[in-house]
Each structure stands twice: as structure tokens, then as C-alpha cells.
Amino acid sequence: MSEKSSGVSSVRNEISIVAGPRGWGDTRESWLGRVPRRVPTVTFRTVKALWYGEISNPNHWAARDIKRAAELIQARNEAAALASQYQTIIGGLRATDEDFYRAEIDRLERIARELGAADRSGVEG
């Protein structure tokens, strides 16, 4: 794979993350149109040019803005997954012996709340 196609592939992946899952009723244009709503510094035309390789520079300002938004979305998703895992652990500790594990349950609940707050901040998803 050439460096140019590698850069386009990377930007396409980041656009996909920001645009989110493509629904059955989405056209490619409607799907790409979600990106400017979530990254206000870019236009639909710029997103489309990045997607189709018309802009192939992975260091283009719009590509950097989209990459930053994709990283925030991924971090938010990871925080939500971790909070969910903590909730599962909390449920297990409660089922085993809520009184004995009270300190751990309280600590994990506090961390899960903080992760949930981080999940709600940042880029709209």
C-alpha cells in the first residue's frame, strides 16, 4: 500500500468513527453529512474530498480536526465500556456479600460515575 493510499485509508477510518454506523436508509452522502455536524470546523465538501482522496494529505487541517474528534469519540466509548464493566463487578460484589465489600463497591461506583461523566462530555456522538 502506498503512503498516499495509507493516508486516505487512515482518514477514511477516522471519518467512519465520527460519522458513526451507517444505517440501512443512509446514502453515503447523508452518512458523510453527519461529520460536519459533529466537527463544526469542516464542511461537507471537505469531508467528501477527504473520503474520495481528493485531499490526500493526512496532515491537512480538516483531517487533523476529524482525527481529534475520532480520538475523543473512541475515548468516550472506552470510558463507557469500562464503566459498564465496573457495574458488572459491583453487581457481583453485591450478590456475594454487600456488607463485606461495601468499601470496594463505593469506590467502584464513584469511579463508574466519573467515567460516566467523561462519557457525556466532549464531542457529540
> pTM of the entire structure?
0.75
Note whether residue 84 is domain-resident. yes
Say how many C-beta atoms besides its own lie within 10 A of residue 62's C-beta: 20
Please state, as a whole number, how many other Cβ atoms lie within 10 Å of the Cβ of residue 17: 19
Q: What is the pLDDT of residue 121?
A: 56
* pLDDT tens digit sequence for 25-51: 999 999 999 999 999 999 999 999 999
Domain residues for the domain of 94 are 3-120
**What does the alpha-carbon distance between residue 19 and residue 105 come to, in Å, rounded to a whole number?**
36
CB 97 within 8 A of CB 85: no
Asked, for residue 14, whether it belongs to a domain, the answer is: yes
In a domain, 100, yes or no: yes
Q: Which residue has the higher pLDDT, 118 or 73?
A: 73
Asked if residue 23 belongs to a domain, the reply is: yes
Query: Is the CA virtual torsion 90, 92, 93, 94 positive or negative?
Result: positive
User: What CA–CA distance (Å, rounded) separates 107 from 119?
Assistant: 18
Domain count, the chain: 1
Report if residue 76 sits inside a domain: yes
Residue 125 lies in a domain: no
Average pLDDT, the chain: 88
* pLDDT at residue 2 greater than cutoff 80: no
**Cα end-to-end span (Å), the chain:** 31
pLDDT value at 17 more than 80? yes
Chain centroid, CA 105 distance in Å: 28
Give a yes or no: residue 16 inside a domain: yes
